[in-house]
Structure 1
């Protein structure tokens, strides 16, 4: 990991809550439709511990970019993300290394908190050297930044110090640098150390490193004349579990041999040897392997020669009775690549050996240079001997000369490499309880994603299907309604458990653009009663016609009876009827338990419009209606609704939506006035959406006769038709303003071109001035909305313009938000 990593954010910077999406505060208004309002409820807030677990799992993967993005999400994500970003700091990956080292040291100096995240630090120098006082030496040897950096890494566990420019004489290091390195090596938290290309290194320091768990010495030459003043003469307890020699001098190995021989420790389990071409390292290591407390306890041996012509020499792994795994580097660039490999593997001859895993790393430049095909036959014959009767796994890796990371050879040969990081242990992955998965799946709304979740595993099927089949809309696909219905009926008939998941059933005669089908099949469908019986947990029902406007008396008797029976269920709380004529008052009697009612272009039967003519009429009716939406309402419908609601005293209606009312119908205006006057004490949300460019807005005349500004609740919503509507909008705002209750204003912007909004400059100024009046002192937010089916490009342009409007209101503290996915 390079040192130019993510810088910490200012701790005083305000950030949104991590449990909410970035647009939660702008999408503050739900749709007037009860179906949409159900989806607009607040998101579930997960505890911070769950987010930390997710980030911890992300930290196991080598995806620093995603961790950086997480750290910049919010303040609560910063620390857990940065703890993984800076957990492994590799200052040798990018050049010039000196530059990036100074950057990292400066970052730790300015933000000491980040220093506590570093567990693994790798420092390398550049190929060139500095000249200090006439002496050519690496910049690490006199780095003041290193002296300041190492003490600030209080939780460091692993340190790698490598010199690429050649051997670095220890005696040429400044005293401060030597002291800083020694103190770090002595730190009780450090358990792993790797040193490379250091000469004149004090033996006392090497002796003190046996207290570690992992030690790698590469090309380390001891100073035979060194005094014991830089490290303690007291030999620490031998705790090494892993020891790695790479081109290390024989004197270093003999020193460790002496320490182990005088110790009774039996902790050494892994031994790795990487000898050069000609050196006495092999015989020295072989002597160390013969020690009883080493030979009897080694379980892993690695042969990783530095040079392709290196020889095994006297090393014999047959003396290791508890050896479990062997790792060997084979160079396919030499003429006889399998010679040393076969010599090593032919050493164990007894059935008593316990080797279970063999990993071979093949070093090659490119595949055309692949050699030694006959060696594969000899290797197979060797592994078929009785000595390898316990062998369970054979792994083949490839290491090209430009990349030292092993890769599965089979992946390279197949031309589809998939490199998996070695440090990931999938057996140690954190397991979430299933309740967490269920909560996450419940928040997913995209059906394609839910279908993918249902195919993940068996435990995901049920929670995914619950969301997939929660809402059944027979008009959401370009399939004729009759065919769509038949498929759904066959599904719930053969899989009854799926029917239990359905909460919202939208029965549609056909999709909107269908011009070939009609509604005749729906009003006579013989299986509808059985379909309703198969949906025992239904909560919302919609009957929608798009291809015509049938009369109620055209419905078959069994269909009418099924609908009547369905509306008597106590579980049904939401009902939507669209484009039905001649509806009798007897049907409305069953609306008493309905809490959300939508009537779109519905006409009452003039001969059966009174409840008194209905035999099921009862005086003790107690309607529970909370939300009412009327689109293109007729006077007969408004009268019937008022007659029904008048049985409830006081009024229970809270949300009223009037869409596309006939502005010229005087009788309709009188009926609306009667309805609004009666429910004025309970209404808390008013939504008015007139026809395009109205000249005689019905609601304006109604409010002119019945001002409800002192009784209207928290929210009012109006449709803003660009250019020509500001005068009527300002008039309506004057009728509903209330400095005590009126807290939110929602304006739906209807336009064909965003430039229409910009032309009405005077209208925006007048609206801004009106919101500054005392009558709007309780106003907290203004929400601009656009229909979800509008083009995203137009909505983006409109949003950019609306952000700059209402400067006076914004200066007073009124929040301006956006809901670009409105009804």
Structure 2
């Protein structure tokens, strides 16, 4: 490999431009040009390592481990790491988790000193935290304490230690999907102890199918904060008893600075928001709802949406933007009747700050014909809002994520 005659500043500018464009193939070619190009190219090529995407996952992890083992400097480039365990399509003839059985993973994690985002997913079934080897649990705990780490996502984990969960309040963004705390583990009762050990920085919280007990632990951590930090809360509810009560308490404990609330229930079953009370959030700016037009929803798609909006309709609020993710859309004789109550509540003076409504149609749950028919019909469905000058748009998304967008 030759030495480049180009000024280093020019090389860095070229690589930065390709990196910002996420042009992986061009970056790979640049890394072969000369020694001067290698380091800068590697900064972008190894910035995000996704070991939950390609099959078999264990094989690609082993390649990554060998790479950073022989070239430790590459580990310093890694800012994002996604670990995914065996899925139903990824077992090698045994039912042993590769994450649990791979003895080198703790060492690999220690070679990533500048990690900013970490995701751990068990794809096939709920996995008890204590079923992981002790050295792996310790390594993950040390990783959580990295000063650079600000985003953590966990999925399909049971018996998670409450104190470890509370420590994740130091993250800016926390995503929990089907995570259950250990019901036998005690919580610290001393608020001053909690404040001194875990400074709260949590701004974005995504909860999908999370147990009420887990939510209560997070609420306790938020309640111990000296100043409110939470700005965005996204919820996909479960049908467990006490779920909405736990969310209501979390909102209460998180303070009044919440700006975005997203209620994204399953498209297959109607869910109640229970005692969740949005009128206690004076700084709320944006809302997002998932609604389903399946015929099994006897009361239509909007009962819970209208109930939550109704809480905000009695006094002037600061809502500026509302997103409605629509699934299983159909156009029939009742379409105007279904949308009229929404038009009525949002046209009240309390919503005078409302600037835009975005209706998003999912391609995975609605046919192209129904989307076309709906788009044609929608121009007449919110006449009162249109007369107020609210910007209303309908768009199609190839895949509307259920959470954590």
- Are 1:337 and 2:265 matched, yes or no? no
Kindly state the Cα deviation for residue 119 of structure 1 after the two structures are TM-superposed: 1.0
3-state DSSP class of the match of 1:165?
coil
Residue 261 (structure 2) pairs with residue 297 (structure 1): no
Indicate which of 100, 104, 110 corresponds to 1:141.
100
The match for 1:177 is: 136
1:151 matches 2:110: yes
Q: Which of the residues 37, 42, 45 maps onto 1:77?
A: 37
Residue 204 of structure 1 pairs with residue 168 of structure 2? no
Alignment coverage as a number of residue pairs: 366
Counterpart of 2:276 in structure 1 is 315
Equivalences for residues 467-486 of structure 1 within 5 A: none
What is aligned with 1:214?
A: 173
Deviation at 1:79, TM superposition (A): 2.6
Q: 1:93 aligns with which of 50, 53, 56?
A: 53
2:27 alignment partner in structure 1: 67
Q: 1:356 to 1:110 in 2, by over 3 A?
A: same
Aligned partner of 2:206 among 223, 231, 244: 244
* CA RMSD, 1 decimal: 3.5
Q: 1:264 & 1:256 partners in 2: Cα distance?
A: 15
Provide closer, same or farther for how the CA distance between residues 81 and 419 of structure 1 changes in structure 2, counting only shifts above 3 A. farther
When residues 321 and 267 of structure 1 are mapped into structure 2, their CA distance, relative to the original with a 3 A threshold, is: same
The alpha-carbon deviation at position 315 of structure 1 amounts to 1.4
Q: What is aligned with 1:272?
A: 234
Normalised by the size of structure 2, how large is the TM-score?
A: 0.79
Instruction: List aligned pairs for 1:599-610, cutoff 5 A.
Output: none
On the 8 A contact 2:291/2:301 being kept in 1, the answer is: yes
Q: Which moved more, 1:90-99 or 1:49-58?
A: 49-58
Deviates more, 1:80-89 or 1:170-179: 80-89
For 2:183, the equivalent position in structure 1 comes to 224
Residue 254 of structure 1: aligned partner: 216
Picking from 308, 314, 317, the partner of 1:353 is: 317
* Alpha carbons of structure 1 residues 290 and 102: separation in structure 2 relative to 1, 3 Å: same
* Secondary structure of the corresponding residue to residue 144 of structure 1: coil
Residue ranges of structure 2 left out of the alignment (5+ in a row): 188-192, 366-370, 377-394
Deviation at 1:175, TM superposition (A): 1.2
Residue pair 1:158, 1:191 contacting (<8 A) in 2 also:
yes
Q: Distance in 2 between matches of 1:196 and 1:418?
A: 25
CA gap of 1:14–1:55, structure 2 versus 1, over 3 A, is closer
d(CA) in 2 for partners of 1:167, 1:250: 16
Distance in 1 between residues matched to 2:38 and 2:293, nearest whole Å: 47
Aligned residue for 2:290, secondary structure, equals: strand
Aligned-partner Cα distance in 2 for 1:391–1:104: 49
SS in 2 for 1:160: strand
Change (3 A) 1:61 1:362: farther
Cα distance change of structure 1 residues 418 and 84 upon mapping to structure 2, 3 Å threshold: farther
Instruction: Kindly state the Cα deviation for residue 304 of structure 1 after the two structures are TM-superposed.
Output: 1.8
CA distance in 2, matches of 1:363, 1:58: 37
1:122 paired to 2:85 = no
Shift of 1:59: 2.7
Gaps of 5+ in 1: 1-12, 20-46, 403-408, 423-823
- Quote the Cα distance in structure 2 between the aligned partners of 1:330 and 1:72: 50
Q: So what's the TM-score if we normalise by structure 1?
A: 0.41
Larger radius of gyration: 1
The structure-2 alpha-carbon separation of the partners of 1:84 and 1:396, relative to structure 1 and needing over 3 Å to count, comes to: farther
Q: Aligned partners of 1:419 and 1:76: how far apart in 2?
A: 41
Q: 1:171 to 1:67 in 2, by over 3 A?
A: same
Distance 1:136 1:162 in 2: 16
Q: Residue in 1 aligned with 2:356?
A: 393
Aligned to 1:481: none
Q: 1: distance between equivalents of 2:375 and 2:15?
A: 35
Instruction: Tell me what 2:225 maps to.
Output: 263
* CA shift digits 1:547-586 (9 cap, x unpaired): xxxxxxxxxxxxxxxxxxxxxxxxxxxxxxxxxxxxxxxx
- Alpha carbons of 1:104 and 1:225: their partners in 2 closer, same or farther (altered >3 Å)? same
1:676-729 deviation line (CA, Å, top 9, x unaligned): xxxxxxxxxxxxxxxxxxxxxxxxxxxxxxxxxxxxxxxxxxxxxxxxxxxxxx
Instruction: Confirm or deny that 1:167 pairs with 2:126.
Output: yes
Deviations for 1:55-92, whole angstroms, at most 9, x for unmatched residues? Answer: 33433344433333333344333333322222222222
- How far is 1:179 from its partner? 1.2
Distance in 2 between residues matched to 1:284 and 1:347, nearest whole Å: 19
Where does 1:626-665 land on structure 2 (aligned, <5 Å)?
A: none
**Shift in CA distance, 418/59, structure 1 to aligned 2, threshold 3 Å:** farther
Distance 1:49-1:361 versus aligned 2 partners, 3 A rule: farther
Matches within 5 A, 1:543-692: none
Q: Deviations over 1:464-485 (max 9, x none)?
A: xxxxxxxxxxxxxxxxxxxxxx
| CA-CA distance at 1:146 after TM superposition | 1.5
Partner of 1:191: 150
Asked if 1 retains the 8 angstrom alpha-carbon contact of 2:204 and 2:230, the reply is yes
Counterpart among 63, 73, 76 of residue 103 in structure 1: 63
How far apart are residue 16 of structure 1 and its match? 5.3
Report Cα offsets for 1:266-305 as digits up to 9, x if no partner. Answer: 11111111112444221101122123xx341111111122
353 and 418 in structure 1: CA distance in 2 versus 1, 3 angstrom threshold: closer
In the TM superposition, 1:459-474 aligns within 5 A as none
Question: SS at the partner of 2:354?
Answer: coil
Q: Report the Cα distance in structure 1 between the residues aligned to 2:284 and 2:243, rounded to whole angstroms.
A: 21
String of CA shifts for 1:208-245, please: whole Å, max 9, x gaps: 111221112221111133479xxx98741222112222
Shift in alpha-carbon separation, 1:323–1:418, aligned structure 2, 3 A: closer
For residues 349 and 178 of structure 1, do their structure 2 counterparts lie closer, same or farther at Cα, with a shift above 3 Å needed? same
Instruction: Tell me by how many angstroms 1:50 deviates.
Output: 4.5
